[in-house]
């Protein structure tokens, strides 16, 4: 694609399904990133084996070995910074980040969340959507701020909520969209099209006031 791959570190806690989607996109030539490392807070995370099988460096910073979030995040920062990432990608990293870590990676820390933010922050988003009677649900990619599931959203993908939906079935359809959404969002950053400037989004050096929508 004629651009230098973006050096990225991915943080995971579990099976790494979004990580797998990123690896597939990179291998297909549609995602210009270089995986510097995959780091987990859980030694048993299946995503570590997935990364190792692709010859990606893996690290574990076990949260159970630290007293409190501050001590843990300070240790995590040291490990991440050894890899000098241009982008830090949260892919199912099930930890609330300290303000110190968020500020340290300001403008280069992104997350994917299974709802159409700002609706349904936190956990159990699919049940939240059903309980609220939402007719549309989906996933969002955003730069991370100190507010939980806050920060500017720049790309979303939507699914229709069906009348007989249950949380598990709705979650499966949203996850399919996540696997399309995250590579597309990161590619926008890799191409230099999306940037965070003074806490405001820019698309092609023009202010972006509403999230872009991924076509179906």
Residues designated catalytic: 113
Give the three-class secondary structure for 13.
coil
Burial class (CB in 10 A: 0-12, 13-18, 19+), 176: middle
The DSSP bridge partners found for residue 87 are 8
DSSP string covering 71-111: HHHHHHHHHHHTT--SEEEESS--SPPPHHHHHHTTTSEEE
* SS3 assignment, position 42: coil
| Helices marked H in 57-216 | 69-81, 99-104, 125-131, 167-190
């Amino acid at each position: 694609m004629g651009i230098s791959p973006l050096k990225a570190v991915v943080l995971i806690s579990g099976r790494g399904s979004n990580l797998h989607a990123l690896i597939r996109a990179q291998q297909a030539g549609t995602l210009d990133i270089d995986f510097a490392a995959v780091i987990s807070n859980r030694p048993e995370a299946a995503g570590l084996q997935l990364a190792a099988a692709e010859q990606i460096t893996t690290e574990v910073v076990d949260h159970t070995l630290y007293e409190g979030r501050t001590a843990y995040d300070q240790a995590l920062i040291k490990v991440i910074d050894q890899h000098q990432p241009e982008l830090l990608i949260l892919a199912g990293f099930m930890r609330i980040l300290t303000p110190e870590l968020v500020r340290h990676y300001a403008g280069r820390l992104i997350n994917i969340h299974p709802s159409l933010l700002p609706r349904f922050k936190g956990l159990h988003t699919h049940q939240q959507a059903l309980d609220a009677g939402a007719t549309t649900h989906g996933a969002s990619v955003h730069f991370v701020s100190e507010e939980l599931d806050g920060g500017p959203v720049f790309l979303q993908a939507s699914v229709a909520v069906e009348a007989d939906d249950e949380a598990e079935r709705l979650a499966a359809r949203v996850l399919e969209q996540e696997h399309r959404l995250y590579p597309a969002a990161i590619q926008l950053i890799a191409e230099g099209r999306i940037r965070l400037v003074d806490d405001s989004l820019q698309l092609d050096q023009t202010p972006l006031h509403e999230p872009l929508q991924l076509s179906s």
